[in-house]
Amino acid sequence: MNLQSVIVSQSPEDKFREYLTTGNKSQRFTGQQRDMVRFIFSHHDHFDAEALISDMQAASLKISRATAYRTLNKLVDAGLLRRLELGTRTFYEHDYGYPQHDHLQCTKCGKVIEFQNPIIEEAIKQASLAHGFQSEGHSFIVRGVCKECNIARMPKRQLDLI
């Protein structure tokens, strides 16, 4: 996590519980779901389903693939997680308690860097207005090479010039 958290009154676990029982729904909050929520909100920055499953298994937590996928979908629906489509793979990151931001993705090492820029909201507003579009969300990913990879790739001679 690089950005400052947003202050929230409920714990992720409570928020999820609330979601599960809101409206006409009567979904259950199971032990496995509780483990997932706790694990995700104490450990991960952004991750994909497979990484979550193996990390939880490594932490001796019981988790089956099917349940992991099913619960991830619920967590997104509940507003706890945000889906992050990097290339063609789906990653997840904290949504609840974490500010809106965008991403720089390094094509060499795969690292993902978060950044914030209010200009982007402005661009969305302008484009929406121009096309009578009602925006609901966005995905903005800048691909390139991060500072570390850039230095590593640079021949020594060029480094001297900095």
Q: Which is nearer to DNA, 35 or 124 (CB)?
A: 35
Structure-token pair, residue 16: 């999820």
CA 48 – CA 98 distance, rounded (Å): 18
CB of 141 vs DNA, minimal distance in Å: 16
Q: Which of 5, 73, 107, 158 binds its own copies (CB under 8 A)?
A: 107
List CB contacts of 106: < 8 A, sequence separation 6 or more.
112, 113, 144, 145, 146, 149
CB of 13 vs DNA, minimal distance in Å: 12
- Cα within 13 Å of Cα(162), Cβ side: 8
CB of 3 vs DNA, minimal distance in Å: 24
Q: Which is nearer to its own copies, 21 or 73 (CB)?
A: 73
Pick out residues in 43-72 that bind its own copies (CB under 8 A): none
Residue 72 C-alpha from the chain's centroid = 11
- Is residue 123 involved in binding its own copies (CB under 8 A)? yes
Pick out residues in 131-160 that bind its own copies (CB under 8 A): 131-147, 150
List CB contacts of 102: < 8 A, sequence separation 6 or more.
114, 115, 116, 117, 120, 140, 141, 142
Q: Which residues bind its own copies (CB under 8 A)?
A: 85, 87-90, 102, 104, 106-107, 113, 115, 117, 119-120, 122-124, 126-128, 130-147, 150
